[in-house]
Amino acid sequence: MNQNISVVGLGKLGACMLAVYASKKYSVIGVDKNLDYVNSINNGVAPVEETDLQKYITKNLKRIRATRNYTEAISKTEITFIIVPTPTDKTGGFSVEYVINACIDIGKNIKNKNKYHLVVLTSTVLPLDCHKKIIPVLEKYSGKTCGVDFGFCYSPEFIAIGSVIHNLLNPDFFLIGQFDKKSGDILESFYSTTCNNNSTIKRMSIPNAELTKISLNHFITMKITYANMLAEIADKLPSGNIDIITDAIGSDVRVGKKYLKGGLGFGGPCFPRDNRAFVYMAKKIKIKTPFAQITDNYNKSIEERMIKLILERSTHSSKIGIMGLSYKPDTGFCEESQGLNIAKKLATMGYKINAFESNGFKHAKILLGKSVNYKKNINEFVNNSDVIFLTNFDKKNQNLKKYCKKKTIIIDPWRQFSNNDFPKTILYRPIGINDLKI
Ligand SMILES: NC(=O)c1ccc[n+]([C@@H]2O[C@H](COP(=O)([O-])OP(=O)(O)OC[C@H]3O[C@@H](n4cnc5c(N)ncnc54)[C@H](O)[C@@H]3O)[C@@H](O)[C@H]2O)c1
């Protein structure tokens, strides 16, 4: 192991890659345009919130450096990972503007380097972006030829916010889209030293890897949506119970239990946008992908259905408590969070909203402003709310049992409690379970 590594983009994913590779004894140079992130890392402070990130940075600081200077990063390392944003653009596809800017700087510095350099793109892009938009920029600004003077791989990571470090160290598989065999060989041998498990490595052409990344997320969103649709049916079926049904279906190894739980719709920075980008990509080549479109439409419709359920149990003067604003447990990020959207829509309709989020309100406040009452104290939140809606499947929600005393209605799309958990004054309404006898 004699390579040094650079990571371009030190945000939610890049900062974790930097820390994980340093923990595997690589010297890692991080590059970011954002001086605050650079200074933060050089001072040994995690630039973003993520489970265990601070611990990994502190422990491996002697092998970590950050800079805004590409020359230092490219000249002193052998492999560069690019993990900058690829935001959804107006058309529904992904903009590669940030990737191209990074590649201009990387290309200019490969130009002055005598040795072979491997560039690995981790940011999510669409099929053919690497060949049509990204590799040509590296060749133009380096004046060199991909596959000869430098190598290139497209290798997105399959991580979830809140467990990025764990996922990087224990991936189900590594996906390597290789420009040529040499590029893939170098990356495969690097990855074989960075994980704690025996994950498989899937090597393929770059276009296949580009399609694999968004297809996987599209498939998972379909699976989540399937369980959500069954939960809607079970809720209306006398003696229906979604958990019994998905437990049985998921026992078939062809289906599996992961992500097969009826609840609220999916959100976050990846699932919704990768699914929509799948629709966009297929449309461009005149292929209909009704599953992806229906998944997106159904997912959005869940918010309206939940609002209806909440309002059926509220009056206009009811104080509605939204427990959980983030898009999943263990993170404060609220991108495309259904809980946050529900809070926002109800507030716009004139309802008084109390919000509780155990991971803090930093991101929520940017998106919701002053439209809701942020309650830091769970006791105050619970006892000031007439109807409480539980947005996430979170073990911390169990605290409700301790605090719920007064007459309250609890609506729970995740069925985290039973009626016996609460005093008689509480009406607990689990969604996906129907108590009517046949
Ligand atoms: N966040 C996720 O859950 C997740 C999961 C899988 C894939 N991805 C993909 O990873 C990519 C990055 O996501 P993220 O959440 O880490 O983004 P982020 O916004 O948290 O961080 C990106 C960083 O890149 C920096 N940057 C932008 N342009 C730069 C440049 N030219 N040079 C140097 N630094 C530059 C920004 O300053 C920022 O710090 C996206 O393509 C996303 O689709 C994200």
In this prediction, residue 92 carries a pLDDT of: 85
Question: Which of 84, 105, 137, 158 gets mutated to test ligand 1 (max ligand atoms within 8 A of its CB)?
Answer: 84
* Whether the Cβ atoms of residue 257 and residue 243 lie closer than 8 Å to each other: no
In this prediction, residue 138 carries a pLDDT of: 98
Pocket lining: 99 vs ligand 1, CB cutoff 6 Å: no
Closest-lying ligand 1 atom to the alpha carbon of residue 158: 6
pLDDT beyond 90 at 295: yes
In this prediction, residue 7 carries a pLDDT of: 98
In this prediction, residue 406 carries a pLDDT of: 80
pLDDT beyond 90 at 437: no
**Minimum mean pLDDT range among 64-73, 84-93, 350-359:** 84-93
Confidence label for 36 from pLDDT (cuts 50, 70 and 90): very high
Closest-lying ligand 1 atom to the alpha carbon of residue 47: 39
Q: What is the pLDDT averaged over residues 160-186?
A: 97
Question: Which of 7, 10, 12 gets mutated to test ligand 1 (max ligand atoms within 8 A of its CB)?
Answer: 12
In this prediction, residue 238 carries a pLDDT of: 96
**Yes or no: domain 5-198 corresponds to CATH 3.30.360.10:** no
In this prediction, residue 1 carries a pLDDT of: 55
Separation of CA 393 and ligand 1 centre (Å): 27
Q: What is the pLDDT averaged over residues 74-94?
A: 95
Element (H, E) at 39: helix 35-42
Closest-lying ligand 1 atom to the alpha carbon of residue 124: 41
**How many Cα atoms are found within 13 Å in the side-chain-facing hemisphere of 78?**
12
Q: CATH: 3.30.9.10, 3.40.50.720, 3.40.50.300, 2.40.50.1020. Which one for 210-438?
A: 3.40.50.720
Phi-psi category of residue 259: left, alpha or beta, with phi > 0 → left and psi -120 to 50 → alpha: left
* Whether the Cβ atoms of residue 363 and residue 326 lie closer than 8 Å to each other: yes
**Minimum mean pLDDT range among 122-126, 135-139, 217-221, 422-426:** 422-426
Pocket lining: 129 vs ligand 1, CB cutoff 6 Å: no
Pocket lining: 103 vs ligand 1, CB cutoff 6 Å: no
Pocket lining: 135 vs ligand 1, CB cutoff 6 Å: no
Q: Where in the chain is the domain with CATH 3.40.50.720?
A: 5-198, 210-438
The whole-angstrom distance between residue 279's C-alpha and the CA centroid of its chain comes to 19
Across the chain, mean pLDDT equals 96
pLDDT in tens, 96-151: 999 999 999 999 999 999 999 999 999 999 999 999 999 999 999 999 999 999 99
The total of other beta-carbon atoms located within 10 Å of residue 373's CB is: 17
